[in-house]
Every structure is written in structure tokens, then in C-alpha cells.
Structure 1
């Protein structure tokens, strides 16, 4: 396997320096001459990873001068394999947000049409992912790579939880945070996975997941969510056409009737758990150990002044709620109950993954939302956050372009059981060939 879409370093620099979409944190002009399987491949890095050469601010004022004294594990692996970092990209502050509207650097719009959002929190990575970039590293705690990937019509991959080291990724929700990335093809996605997968002594959640010798594999059984009533018509038409095409390939296509009562709980379960974990993980941002400090009469004043001035409204809101869920009298009522429902959600999906080669469903019920939200025609219920289920379960998930509507793209998602990344990517190669380059 050879990398197909390497990008162009000089053109990427020129393009990124002209960015007027609040997407670029810093541009780099040093080419990596290290030989390896990613030689001459150009990439961008979401600015919530530690790196020694420049500021890693997580798009937050509280870290506006923070430079780490080490590199994230994935960054070292990419450098060692010859990849060249051309830019860091902005994000919803600390990854807490899903629209691209909560960076301290300004709103990030969809590069295909500024009337639409690009989605987040890996909004800067998505907004700058042109043909001059070989791949873009983001992070995915809820759907923060796969949803913007759908909104720009690119491959978006979230590996199994633990398959890739999170050492050096700023923590948001530790039980769901996942290194994830954008690619132009499944082939290139596989090569990045083979570069980044593996145990890391600095991340005790990391584990060995087989990712070698991947070949295109035709599935025998494909399960699909019966969710047409929650989709825009133009999405459903492409969805049904794909299901018909799979049947014509002599693949058994099995309808899964959703447990709507359970799936409609995905959002609230995600919010309770992720906000709670964020309130713990970001508790060190006080202005005392590090970060921008606002002075006060004592440490309590310093903490209050620092957080009040330097954290954005979205982060404050989530941290306040997270602290509320973790208060002694609330833990059983909210946090523990959410964990129990998380287990029910996990069991429901795993029963499907155990029976069939993979599960498919549209990555979103519509194309990217318009800034004025005028292209929302119904209550999409669980389909608005269906991608978040794989963060709760921990299983791998990949999005491929399914089609377009009014020149705006949308994806189909493929999912398998946790640690079945090799099979998922093998099936994704086949699905990519079925969908075709133009997704007709």
C-alpha cells in the first residue's frame, strides 16, 4: 500500500497563510526530510496536542502562551515516519463544542459555503483540509471528526478506544477522547492507522489492535438502521439507493429497528459523563500551576478571576454542569445512572456487531446546518447525535461520502465491534469502491 494523496507543501503554506476563516493557528515552513512510509505527506494538527515547537492553546485564552516541553506520542510517530507538519488548526475551546463557533479565535465556517457551519470541534482541521493537505489530525470525543468529515464530504475515521495513544492530547472526557483523522481515501486512512496504532507506556489505556495486512473484503451481511422517518428526503434517497446496490451485490442486507427510547438517551448520557469528566480533567486550569493568571487577594480569588476572564462561555457552562453532576448528593442520581444507561446503549449496539459484518447509517440526517438553521425541517431526534454512540461504546467508526445536495456533501457511516478496526477498514475499501469516486 502506498500513500495516494500526499498534498503539496508549498501550495499548502500559501493557501493556509491566506486563511480568513479563523481556522489556522500557526503555519510552519520546515520540511521533514526523514525517510519513511509518510515521506512527503503533508498534514495539519488540531491545536489541542502537546508539541515543543510552538504554542498549544486548545483555542483557549487561558493557555494563550502555553508551550509544552514534550511532543504528543502521535506527533513523534508521524515525524519518525517522514510526515511534514504544515500547520496547527483551531478548534472549539478544548474540544468542548460541536459547531466550530466556540474557538477563542472566532467562528469557523464551512469552506464549501460560508452560509453553512463546518462542524466541530475539529472545525479548523476540516475547514483547511484541501487537496494540498495529505491528512488532518483531529480528536473525536462525541463526533468531532466524523461529523465535520460528513459536512465536507471526506473520509473521517475514529479508531477503537485505546487503539491509538492519547498521550499529549489535552483531556476533555477521558473515557471517550480518541485520536481521529481526516483523509481523502480509505487507502490513506489505513496507512495513518498503521502508523499510529500501538501500545504506549505513557498511556495506560492503550492496547494492541491488529491493523496489519488489510485487504479489500466484501461483506456477507450488512445491518442498517431503519431511520428514514428522521432523515431529510435527499439523504434517504441516497441511503435507500445504497442499500439496493448492496443487495444487488448479493450481500444480505438486514433491517435493524432502532430502540428509539434508548437511542434518544445518547445525547443526555454523553453530556452528563463528558461534562463530569471535563470538570475533573480541566480542574488544573486555575492560573496557579500554569496558564494565564489573573491576580487576586488569595488563591480562591486567583482561581475565580482567572477562570471568569479566560474561559469561554461554552466551557464555563459545561464545567459548572459537570461539577453539579459530581456533587455527592447528585452522583447516584445523574452520573452513576448515566453510566448504567451507557452500558445499555453499548449492549444494544454490540448485539448488532456480534451478528453482522458491520452496521451502516447516514452520518447526519441532513447536510451541514446553515448558519441561520433554515435547512432544518424536522426534529431529527437521535439521528442528530447518532455518531456519539461509538464514543460511548468505544467501537471504531468511519464515514465515507454518500452524496451531495445543493453542492453540499454528506456521508454514510460504517461501524463494527470494538477492536475490529482491521475488518472495518477492509470493508470500508469495498464500500468505497461501491460508492464510486463521484458517489453516483
Structure 2
């Protein structure tokens, strides 16, 4: 019966239309060191026309993003004045970019990490204001509140129209305001994406990716022989798919797309490197797990990721997020991010790895969880839990650890003897 239900689900979405977001999406300004900005950091007020494309900024400084001071990961340090206890309030930034045919773009998405307040202008028109008061913004206007903690790491998402685009050279101007002159840091990094149709903002499951996606959605288990390919979408347990394969969820929608995901491509280079491929399977899997844990941990000595991911869920609920962008956008990754990335890298590294979803805990205290299994040719299986840093051999005599891994209806996932097939 279970197999029939699974086949019916495959048939149900067999006619999903393949929509390539790689072609539909245009990255107009890229994150980080891919983009050079002009900036003015002398603490002086600028004339009102500094936001206009024809404003002369030839004498402004130049630097690669992220830009700022007092924070980690900066490529360009900006000045804050002579007195550390009385820093200048506002720093100004400009970036020109090209748009060949503005009529083709219907929506813009800005992903912005700023500390503290920010105003963004497109060709002289304000399109985003965050953490600043209403009314006229002056050079000494302070941000409403200081940004601190995990909120500092969050890239916030803004969707705006394209009314102010022109054909050819366009200008994005940004002013970053401090909450007080004793602020210890300033940060600016952003990405600007353009879409030809609002429908293209919706993550769409592709036909080649549907077997793994449907298996995970219905059985909560992706077999080692099923690969995670481009077009895979995961929105958690509550994800819904319409007849066109478009996904909806109250959580962020994770997308696998190697063509658009630069960070994922770097992870894959590591997974297929000679250093990794030369290791025997167990050591290979262990190295990948350690690599992902380091890549998706907020800080070296702080693995408390939940606060960052709660912010991400709030900011990106029902919005697409490339799996490689998770750490960049919120500074951390939880079990569903880590387990999916481990499966992708294990596929690349030639390992037989399953992707598993269920609960973790006991009858009194449990929570949703995701993990992996490493399957070896001699029949042995290892439990791989990157979130909890567990890597252990599964045996008929269940350990106290494996007893805590449950199905979604809270039955033991690893029964006695070991199961030969996944339990929904």
C-alpha cells in the first residue's frame, strides 16, 4: 500500500512544469567581494543630489563589500572620525550597474545586511527604509535602535518594484546610520536581484528533482540511490505543492541550484577533491560532516543556532533560499539545512547516504529533527547527525543515542532488529 501511495504521488506531479530560475533571475549587484562600492566616510553632510546618477563621485573612496568597521568578515574598513567615543553618524555608498532592457524586469529583491539603520535609493528615488524614523533623513539622523546579537548577521529581504529603472546605467545609493556615536561597528553588504515575472519568485520543483522531493515529503526518507539534483525544493513538513510544482510553506523554502549557488559550488569542490575522495568511506563521511558543522556554525564556541534561524524563518517564510546561502543570510544552519547539505556533498563524494526526517527525544520531550545514514557495501550503516555531532555505527543492539531517533509519529526509527526499509 505504501508503495502504491508513493507511485500515485509521483504520477500526480509527473506533469509539473519545469521552470528554470537560473534563466528567470538576474543578479544585478552581487554579495561581498564580487562588488566594488564607492563610499564617502568623512562625516560631512552631502547635497541632496548625491543620490542621483549624474552626481560626481570621482573623488570618493572605493572598496569591496562587505564594508564597515568593528565587525568580522569585512573586506573594506571605512573611517568613523577622530574620536572613537563620538563617531560620525552617517556613511554614504554608491554603486552603478547596467540593465539592458528594464521592461523585462517586473520585481526586485534586495537582500541587505546593515548595521544600524539604512535608506536605499534607486536612481534618486527611495525604495527601502529600515530602522530609521519617518520624515526627512539628515546626515545626523540616528537609527531607531542599535542592531546587536544574532540580528547583526541577518540579511533582511525587501521586495520592490522596477518603476525607477532606466535602460543602460542605473545607480543604487545607500546611506547607513548609527544609533549612537559610541557604536562599536558598522556593516553594509547587499545583493540586488531582478525577476521577469512575479511567478519566478516562487521556487518550483523540477521533474528531475521530484523523485527525491516526493520521497522526503511523503515518506520522510530519501534513499541513498536517489540523488539531490538541481530543482529540488524543501519547505519542511508543512510544505505544499500545487499542480505546477510551485512550493509554499510557513518556513523558508530551501532550493538546490548549482548554477546560481556559488557557495554550494565551493562546497562541492571540497566534496570531490582528491583529499576527500582518497579516504575510505567512513572517514570520508566523517570529514564531510565536520566540514558542514564548521561551515554552518554561528561562532566557533557557540553552536546555539536557533535564535538566528528563528529570525530567518520570520524574514524568509515562504520565500526561496539557496541552500548555500543559509549561513550567509542568517549566520547559522539547523538540522534540516545540515542534513540536506550533507546528502548533497555525500552524493558528490561517491557515498551512499540517506536523508532522514523524524523527531528526536523521548515520550516527554521531543522535537522535529533531520539527520543522515551512511550505507556501506558490507551492509553496515552509520547514523550521521551533523547538528548533534553524532557519528555512530547502527547495530541490532540499539544504543541509548539511537533510541532517541523517532519517526514523525514518535515510534522508534531504529527498532530491534534494525529496519530494512524506512518507516514513515
Alignment TM class, shorter chain as reference: under 0.3
- Larger strand fraction of residues: 2
- Larger helix fraction of residues: 1
> Which of the two has higher C-alpha Rg?
2
Query: Normalized against structure 1, the TM-score is what?
Result: 0.22
Query: Normalized against structure 2, the TM-score is what?
Result: 0.23
